[in-house]
Amino acid sequence: MSSLCNPSPSSPSLPQNLPLREIPGNYGFPFFGPLKDRWDFFYFQGRDNFFRSRIENHNSTVFRTNMVPGPWISHDPRVVVLLDAKSFPVLFDMSKVEKNDVLTGTYTPSTSFTGGYRVCAYLDPSESNHNSFKGLLLSLLASKQEEIIPLFQTCLNEFFLEMEDQLKNNSRVDCEPLIDKISFEFVYKLFCDGNSPSDFLMSDGAKMFKKWLICQIGPVKTLGLPVFLNPIEDLLLHSVRLPFFLVKNDYEKIYNAFYSSKSSFIEKAQKNGISREEACHNLVFMAGFNAFGGFITWFPSLIKWVASAGETLHHQLADEIRTVVKSEGGVTLNAIHKMTLTKSVVYEAFRIEPPIPYQYGRAKENLMIQSHDYSFKVNKGEMLFGYQPFATKDPKIFDEPEKFKGNRFVGEEGEKLLKYVLWCNGRVIDDPTVENKQCPGKNLVELMSTVFLVELFLRYDSFSIDANNSNNCVCLSLKKGESLEYDV
């Protein structure tokens, strides 16, 4: 990755042809400034308008503000915001920023949620345990490369069968509970070496994981309650860390199931001098927070955007997928590699609504950061924050950035734009390593997303969603196509 910052920590020089500008914005009075920004963010303006209004007020995509959750709970809510495709990648440059305890931003949940351990996601690559745990996970995923597609296909087959069963009595089906179910099943089997969850976990595991997740990320979320309840929500959700005892019993049941699964991850960690307990807490976090939490956020978003593209794109996808699968004799890695439109659709969904919207990093040294228009000096120790959906919809990079274009990344010119697709604590063209903080499951998620579309359009010609659904769930209606039969 090319650096956007000067390497000198003491006297950063100006990038060429861009005027130096003092970073605009301020943090307001102590306590009251962060409190005002929190209410703007959650209630008065909303997330996107919060950032958009400040871009307009400061005439800059780089500015200072307070980031939620703010008073009482944040370590320090003051951040330098980066909202364009040029400045944003400094957040991925581990020579310029450190990522110690910044996963959830300006506050950190209690380690009680992870057995008293700081798990890999909260560690900076400079910490030895980070390299050990991430290396083990990358090794685990690499060893299961041949198993992933068949395992996910099995889960998807259950998903589509249950959907069709529900559609017999309804014109549409709410697929979010089904996504929760197959995500938990897939994650458990993947990380526990093919072992199936117990009947109890199969029915309640997803709910237990979700409660555990909400208690950790609640302070940066809003429940969408009626306006008159906003003060109560703000006091209970955004002003204090939610206590672990609310989910203690659920977490212990999940932990015990993973611990007794004899996962090869735990066995290898123990051989590397890591206790089984610490390894298992890391495994549960990776399975529950990173994988399960990501899937239940991402797949409804993928469905929503592909549905919104309409039947013309659906027919093009169905034609490409069925043609390639038939010629390759099945859904294989080689077949998926040839599905240029399908992969482009996946990348476009990542671009328009990245499943991980926030990125943080603390400056290791004095930096000079560039936006498209100016240079800005950032001091050592300052917290940098990026809202990813603005960077991936930068109008100076993407034509009609707010529009979903399934073929945006097809062809030579389209492939050049892939370096601006950011969703996994890194660029989509880069790979996770032990030296960076890119999501270790980045390639896995991209593969699963493609397989999801493949299995969908092998079965159906088109589908639509209920855009007027007030419960904010994905309600699907399907147009059945002719099943494609092939020999595997």
What's the average model confidence in pLDDT over 467-473?
54
Q: Model pTM?
A: 0.93
Tokens of 480: 């059945």
257 phi, psi to nearest 5 deg: -65, -45
How would residue 174 be classed by pLDDT, with cut points 50, 70 and 90? confident
Asked whether the predicted pLDDT for residue 101 surpasses 50, the reply is: yes
Asked whether the predicted pLDDT for residue 485 surpasses 90, the reply is: no
User: Considering the chain, what percentage of its residues have pLDDT values greater than 70?
Assistant: 93
User: Considering the chain, what percentage of its residues have pLDDT values greater than 90?
Assistant: 87
What's the average model confidence in pLDDT over 92-102?
97
Could you write out the DSSP letters of every residue in 363-374? ESS-EEEE-SS-
Residue range 384-411, pLDDT digits in tens:
999 999 999 999 999 999 999 999 999 9
What are the C-alpha distances in Å from 132 to residues 97, 136, 188, 272, 464? 20, 6, 22, 8, 44
Tell me the pairing of strands 460-465 and 62-66. Answer: unpaired
What are the C-alpha distances in Å from 136 to residues 125, 132, 205? 14, 6, 25
What's the average model confidence in pLDDT over 84-95?
97
Contact 51, 387 (CB under 8 A): yes
What's the average model confidence in pLDDT over 430-455?
96
Contact 380, 365 (CB under 8 A): yes
Residue range 35-89, pLDDT digits in tens:
999 999 999 999 999 999 999 999 999 999 999 999 999 999 999 999 999 999 9
Q: List alpha helices for 60-120, DSSP H.
A: none
Asked whether the predicted pLDDT for residue 11 surpasses 80, the reply is: no
What's the average model confidence in pLDDT over 169-182?
88
pLDDT for 173: 83
Per the document, the length of the chain is 488
Q: Report, in angstroms and rounded to the nearest whole number, the Rg of the chain calculated over CA atoms.
A: 23
Contact 460, 117 (CB under 8 A): no
Topology at the third CATH level for domain 32-480:
Cytochrome p450 (1.10.630)
pLDDT for 9: 34
The domain spans of the chain are 32-480
**Chain-wide mean pLDDT for the chain?**
92
Asked whether the predicted pLDDT for residue 114 surpasses 50, the reply is: yes
Residue range 281-335, pLDDT digits in tens:
999 999 999 999 999 999 999 999 999 999 999 999 999 999 999 999 999 999 9
Contact 459, 159 (CB under 8 A): no
How would residue 191 be classed by pLDDT, with cut points 50, 70 and 90? very high
Contact 40, 128 (CB under 8 A): no
